[in-house]
Amino acid sequence: MLYAGGCLCGKVRYRAKAAPVNERVCHCRLCQKAVGAAFNARLLFAGADVAIEGPARWSHSSPDLQRGFCPECGTTLFTRRLSSGTVGVGSGTLDDPSLFRPRMHIFISAKQPWLILEDGLPQYEEWPPA
């Protein structure tokens, strides 16, 4: 299956041909601030499985995590965890966002109190067990 997507203006595009290693919804404050929303729904891929085209820029939001965005339109597209080599793509940036199949909620300790989770997925206060 091909996962493809891009930013709002179309100058940054990506594709991944391999299946995601995880699909999850993160409620941590860093993700909330980075995407400007109550949570970050993303698909995680092995870094080698994601091809990025265009002028993506990267910034550190923590020592081990970089966030990638389009310098033209500002769309936050990616996360890149340096210790594991994984690349996350925001589910809303997919050409077909219905491909996103979340498996868990993480960092619900920072979940917004008005958000009620009734989807039956596992919920973890912080990181899931290894």
Domain extents for the chain?
Answer: 3-110
What is the assigned CATH class of domain 3-110? mainly beta
Helices (H) and strands (E) in the chain, counts: 1, 10
pLDDT by residue (tens digit) across 49-84? Answer: 999 999 999 999 999 999 999 999 999 999 999 999
What pLDDT score was predicted for residue 52? Answer: 98
Helix (H, G, I), strand (E, B) or coil at 34: helix
Residue segments in the chain with a per-residue pLDDT below the cut of 70: none
Predicted local distance difference test score (pLDDT) of residue 54: 98
- Sheet of 76-81: strand order equals 57-62, 65-69, 76-81, 86-90, 40-46, 22-26, 104-106
CA dist., res. 41 & res. 100, Å (int) = 8
Of 61, 39, 41, nearest to 111 by C-alpha is 39
Give pLDDT, residue 1: 77
For residue 64, how many other CB atoms are within 10 A of its CB? Answer: 11
Question: What pTM does this model have?
Answer: 0.92
Tokens 């923590």 correspond to 62
Residues for the chain: how many in total? 130
Per-residue confidence (pLDDT) for residue 88, from 0 to 100: 97
Portion of the chain with pLDDT greater than 90, in percent: 97
pLDDT at 130: 79
